[in-house]
Amino acid sequence: MAKAWMVVLVLPLGPLVCGANEPDARAAWLVTFGELEGRLGEANLRVLDARPKKNYDAGHIPGAVWVDVKEAAKMAARPGGLNDRATWERWISPLGIGPKTEVVVYDANRQLDAARLWWLLSYLGVKKVGLMNGHFPLWAAEKRAITTEVPTVQLKPFKVAFRAGRHATRNEVLSALAAKSDRILDARTVGEYQGTDRRAKRAGHVPAACHLEWNQLVDQDGRFLNESALRAKLAKAGVKENEPVITHCQSGGRASVNAFVLERLGFKARNYYLGWSDWGNAEETPVKVEETSKPRK
């Protein structure tokens, strides 16, 4: 029988603010390569690999379990998918995650896929989820532990408990705009934000939304910038210290990177996960287009 390996996740950088009636937990955890490798084999951690299956099969961190991130994204995008408790419980059971399991996720895509899984798992009620600071290609380049051995995972029923305070619906974004209660942070490209890159019926951005593309927060090797650099990026984008923030992108992944950073820095952050795929295809939502991107008459 293959030996199951585990890892430990550390280094929270600030308080996580939970939604009403939710337990106080720290979701935005980050672990260095050294910390991760030094604690392989511990019993209560689950490592998840969010890369394509062929890459996982070619070599992965010892004990890591493969997750089909594309399937998870499709499940979340279906009508009512984010509230389909039974479907998510069937999905999570093969991962061997119990109520006290700590989880760390990695990818090869500068945290984009890993952060999506981080947000989804924490939204489903997994209390301790975090990211490896750096993606797998850097891990491999540093000649750290890699195996092709696939761990044996026992199915574990997991009772999904949606953490509504981590998610924002379209109506909640509309309410936040009306009350000016939350900063809206757009994690998409400049073209999407300005309206020159159309990916829904309507192009543009949520009125009054700040813009900070997700890839400005991580380097080319998937390592997050240091705290002072991250705070400077947010401030330049227009996010004020300690104000609540709603992140969004097209369909949840990029906004999850921004949400992770915000939580690490102590902000109360919600992810409008359906994002522009929902907002830009609705009829009643306000949309702003940059003047420079409007067609001339």
Question: pLDDT tens for residues 197-210?
Answer: 999 899 999 999 99
157 and 72 together in one domain: yes
Determine the residue type at 165: G
Kindly state whether residues 155 and 281 are assigned to the same domain: no
Burial 222-255 (b: 16+ CB within 10 A, else e): bbbeeeeebeebbeebebeeeeebbbbbbbbbbb
What is the extent of the structural domain holding 33? 29-163
Q: Per-residue b/e over 257-276, b at no fewer than 16 CB within 10 Å?
A: bbbbbbbbbebbbbbbbbbb
**Domain presence at residue 263:** yes
19 within domain boundaries: no
pLDDT at position 20 is 34
Q: In the predicted model, is pLDDT for residue 6 greater than 70? A: no
Instruction: Say whether both 156 and 221 belong to one domain.
Output: no
> How far is Cα 166 from Cα 168, in angstroms, rounded to an integer?
7
Residue 159 near residue 200 (C-beta atoms within 8 A): no
With b for 16 or more beta-carbon neighbours within 10 A and e for fewer, the 144-168 pattern comes to: beeeeeebebeeeebebebbbbbbb
226 in the same domain as 195: yes
In a domain, 141, yes or no: yes
Residues 135 and 213 in one domain: no
| 205 assigned to some structural domain | yes
281 and 222 in one domain?
yes
Residue 11 falls inside a structural domain = no
**Domain boundary, last residue among 135, 163, 191:** 163
Distance CA 35, CA 147 (A): 18
Choosing from 130, 163, 196, the residue where a domain stops is: 163
Contacts of 52 by beta carbon, 8 Å cutoff, 6+ apart: none
Mean pLDDT of 21-30: 58
Residue 14 in any domain: the answer is: no
Shared domain check, 280 and 173: yes
Whether the predicted pLDDT of 256 surpasses 70:
yes
Indicate whether 150 and 225 sit together in one domain.
Answer: no
Q: What is the torsional sign of CA 11, 149, 219, 46?
A: negative
Q: For position 39, what pLDDT does the model report? A: 78
In this predicted structure, the answer to whether residue 181 has a pLDDT above a threshold of 90 is: yes
Q: Are 212 and 237 in contact (CB under 8 A)?
A: yes
Q: What is the pLDDT of residue 24?
A: 36
Per residue in 121-134, pLDDT tens?
A: 999 999 999 999 99
Exposure string for 55-81, b = 16+ CB within 10 A, e = fewer = ebeeebbbbbbbbebeebbebbeeeeb
| Residue 24 counted as domain residue | no
Q: How many CB atoms lie within 10 A of CB 1?
A: 5
Question: How does residue 43 score in pLDDT terms, banded at 50, 70 and 90?
Answer: confident
Instruction: Give the total number of structural domains in the chain.
Output: 2
Q: Are residues 142 and 89 in the same domain?
A: yes
In contact, 49 and 103? CB cutoff 8 Å: no
- The domain boundary, picked from 113, 145, 163, lies at 163
Examine the domain organization and report whether 35 and 139 are in the same domain. yes
Cα 264 to Cα 186: distance, rounded to the nearest angstrom: 18
pLDDT at 52 > cutoff 80: yes
Residue 259, domain CATH: 3.40.250.10
pLDDT for residue 291: 66
The average confidence (pLDDT) of the chain is 89
Tell me: do 190 and 271 sit in the same domain: yes
Residue 292: the pLDDT is: 55
